[in-house]
Every structure is written in structure tokens, then in C-alpha cells.
Amino acid sequence: MNKKIDKKKIEQGIRMVLEAVGADLDIKDIAKTPQRVAQMYEEILAGQFKNPEDEINVILEEEHDEIILLRNISFYSLCEHHLVPFFGKAHVAYIPDKRITGLSKIARVVEVLSRRLQVQERLTTKIADVLMKKLKPKGVFVVIEAEHLCMSMRGVKKPGTTNVTSVVRGVFRTNSKTRQEALSLIK
């Protein structure tokens, strides 16, 4: 795997796309579009070259054994099928087993993982997997609500449609009351 994005290749590719759709590359602003797009991809896909586990770099021993929930973590990602954004909110809950981390660390995991080419289902799963591995909690519950521009502005053209995915691990999977409590806190 490359360690960084090849901006020159992106520029070449975007130039070809612009030519293919009939854009006039002699227009000053369009002439700079390949460079701008390459810079954008470097930014919005930066998570491909980061290990999300590194974001949980502070783990504290704590006796707290109730739900910890971060609601409405905003994110933007890029659909690997059409290369258009999907965006929304992630809700991440866990029940510690003597190990907690700073709240910003969880938001950073979402941020790193969302800045990749992917599908929403994989993003939801990877967030849960990272928390399970690093914190070894009693359970993790991740819900993502997102609008996909590939569905809103093309294809069926249904703007405002929200896709909801969830992943449950540990006690959230085995105990329906605990799962319901987390769901009620998310809403």
C-alpha cells in the first residue's frame, strides 16, 4: 500500500475526465481544477494511510460500568462505488470493562475511518472493531445515519433518504434491555 496519495496521477486522470466531458481546459479556472481535485482527495481520503487504533492513545483504568455514548458525531466519507460523498452522524456507545478513553479519541476514530473509500456498512463495522480491540469493553454499539449523494443526485434521485446501519457487540448483542437502553439514549 502506498503511504500517500499520488497527486500527479489524480491530476492526469481529472484532466482526462474534463476533456472527456467537453470542458475547456484553456479557461483559467478550469485549468486549475485538476490540482484542486488532487488536493481535495489528499484531504478527504487521508484516513486511508492512518491506523485508527493509534487514535486511542490514552486508556485509563476506571470502575465505570455503565453506557458511555457519543451522539451525533458528524462525518463525511466517499462512496467507493461512485466516488461521491455520503455524510451523516455516527452514534457510538460502549460499556467499559475497567478501561475508558477520552471522548475525543472516539470521535477521532470515526474521523480517520470515514476518510476512506468505502461503504457505510464497512465504516460501521470498523468503528466497532477498533473499539472492541483497543478498549476491550463489555460491549459496543455503533449506529450510523447517512445520506448518500449517489442516491440523492443520481440514480433514483431521492434526496433526504437516510441509510441507517448498526453494529452491536458484546452485551449489547446478548442483552436486549441494554440494547434498548442505548437505542433510547441515541434517540
- Render pLDDT for 126-146 as a digit per residue (tens, 0 to 9): 999 999 999 999 999 999 999
Could you tell me the three cell numbers for 183?
A: 437505542
- pLDDT tens by residue, 82-115: 999 999 999 999 999 999 999 999 999 999 999 9
Distance of CA 71 to the CA centre of its chain: 14
pLDDT exceeds 50 at position 75: yes
Among 67, 101, 72, CA closest to 172: 67
Homologous superfamily in CATH for domain 7-44? GTP cyclohydrolase I, N-terminal domain (1.10.286.10)
Continuous H helices in the chain: 7-20, 28-31, 33-44, 103-114, 120-135, 149-152, 171-174, 176-186
Domain with CATH 3.30.1130.10 in the chain: 54-186
Q: Which residues are catalytic?
A: 79-82, 120, 148, 150
Please state which CATH number belongs to domain 54-186: 3.30.1130.10
Domain with CATH 1.10.286.10 in the chain: 7-44
Neighbours of 170 (CB within 10 A): 19
pLDDT exceeds 50 at position 183: yes
Share of the chain above pLDDT 70, in %: 99
Which amino acid is residue 14, in one-letter code? I
Calpha distance 156→39 (Å, rounded) = 30
Which amino acid is residue 25, in one-letter code? L
Neighbours of 51 (CB within 10 A): 9
